[in-house]
Chains A and B, each alone.
Chain A
Amino acid sequence: MDNIIKVTVIDREGIAHELEAPTDMSMNMMEVCKSYELSVEGTCGGMAMCASCHMYIESDTLLPLKSNDEEDMLDEAFFVDDEKSRLGCQLHITPELDNLVVKLAPVGE
């Protein structure tokens, strides 16, 4: 389908959800998860200011580099894996993200 990519989100129970995400709605991975009612808070609304959309990249998809804001926020996050951790809100849905696989990071207290 035009303007639709497929992404897989593995939730905290280990269940893989295959989702369709539109590339023409200025969405990001945090929002895609929320739109499918997966358990992602996205407290700050997507400004890289809360790390409540922390996820691990499980596929070898080539992703844009982290911005300073994202690096800073991951600095204050917990359960961070330097190789895999990203903030979902900073991963914009583009055709390049087709077949991306992510796993939701645990939520702290």
Chain B
Amino acid sequence: MIETDILIIGAGPTGLFTVFEAGLLKLKCHLIDSLPQAGGQCSEIYPKKPIYDIPAYPDILAGELTDKLMEQIAPFKPGFTLGESAVTVDKHEDGSFIVTTNRGTKHKAPIVAIAGGLGVFEPRKPPVENLSNFEDKGVEYIIKDPEFYRGKDVVISGGGDSALDWAYFLANGVANKVSLVHRRNSFRGHLDSVQKVMDMADNGKLNLITEAEVVGVKGEDNLKELVIKHKTQGEILVTTDHWIPLFGLSPKLGPIADWGLNISKNSIEVDTFDYSTNIEGMYAIGDVNTYPGKLKLILCGFHEATLMVQSAFARIHPDKKNVLKYTTVNGVSGF
């Protein structure tokens, strides 16, 4: 069991800056994030895009902002549970929260700060009827272990780098047969990835089906056949053991929606006094919350985090005196 003072759900800019403000008050933090790296949207969606509204930075790349925040919070030695998403919350008998991830990692803290942004990044699922019946029975949205496909017939859908790279990898002596289905006849993604796949298709090592989409899944218990609709040839049936649709990730509020929080329009309602939710000891900051006048800006997330930790301090140490200190006067002393 991981124990900390403030358990932060979401390691985007708001979650990361919370560590700093909490650290100034001698509160320890641990962060959970479904992504394998810190930074949230900044690192996952737009690391190479400039941001122009961070005070004192005329412009800064989103990836760079993440790096700077990591550097800023380093003295406070935050803990990270990355690549796992917070699924359930329970109350411990001492009043603190126990948050468990999808992999069963347990975290205990008196304060939970939800800085979940847009939510958990999940694979985007194509709109195909009965698809859910075959999930993990031949349909997988993520390749966890390529060895799983050894000797199997595999169909991959998508036109981006991950579709190209996995098609190339699996066709290179892993799977028995690999088909790549793509809506257009040109591919985005790195030129050399595209070229490698094209070469394989030319050599007959990979079956390239372009201007086509998978529109149906068939089978009994497990997936057996895909219905592929081709722009000119109409519908064709392809026998396969696996179908791996790779259409990128999109964020969902996810299991947090079932925690008993007041939610409106996919956001958590908070009191702007301290960004507390309707559950005592649980706060929501950054893009995940809503209140009259809310603006989804990193800048506002920083402000919310700062006020939130003051309230969290009072809750953890009801009898301890606290006064706002200036870092310029006192410096930053880590743990």
Contacts and interface: CB of A to CB of B under 8 A. Distances in A.
Interface of A: 43-44, 47, 49-50, 52, 68, 71-72, 75-76, 78-80, 106, 108-109
Nearest to B163: A76
A47 B49 contact: yes
A71 to B, nearest CB: 7
Contacts of B182: 75
Contacts of B49: 47
A79 B251 CA distance: 19
A43 B117 CA distance: 11
A52 B251 CA distance: 11
A106 B126 CA distance: 12
A68 B227 CA distance: 29
A43, A50, A68, A76 — most chain B CB neighbours (10 Å) = A76
B188 A75 contact: yes
Interface in B187-239: 188
Contact of A47 (B46, B124, B127, B188): B46
B40 to A, nearest CB: 12
Interface in B144-163: 158-160
Given A43-B251, A75-B159, A75-B188, A49 B45 contact: yes
Ranked nearest first, the 3 interchain pairs of A and B with the lowest CB-CB distance are A72-B188, A75-B159, A109-B125
B79 interface: no
A67 to B, nearest CB: 12
A44 B42 CA distance: 10
Nearest to A106: B127
A37 to B, nearest CB: 10
Nearest to B211: A82
Contacts of A71: 188
Interface string B85-129: 000000000000000000000000000000000100000111100
Interface of B: 41, 45-46, 49, 118, 124-127, 158-160, 182-184, 188, 247-248, 250-251
Contact of B127 (A43, A49, A52, A108): A108
A75 B181 CA distance: 12
Contact of B126 (A52, A68, A75, A78): A78
11 contacts: A43-B251, A47-B46, A47-B49, A72-B188, A75-B159, A75-B160, A75-B184, A76-B159, A78-B124, A108-B125, A109-B125
A43 B118 CA distance: 8
Nearest to B126: A78
A109 B123 CA distance: 10
A103 B128 CA distance: 22
A87 B4 CA distance: 43
Given A52-B250, A71-B188, A79 B127 contact: yes
A78 to B, nearest CB: 5
A44 B296 CA distance: 12
Given A43-B118, A49-B46, A71-B188, A76 B125 contact: no
A29 B7 CA distance: 39
Contacts of A108: 124-127
Contacts of A49: 45-46
Most B Cβ at <10 Å: residue of A44, A47, A80: A44
A44 B46 CA distance: 9
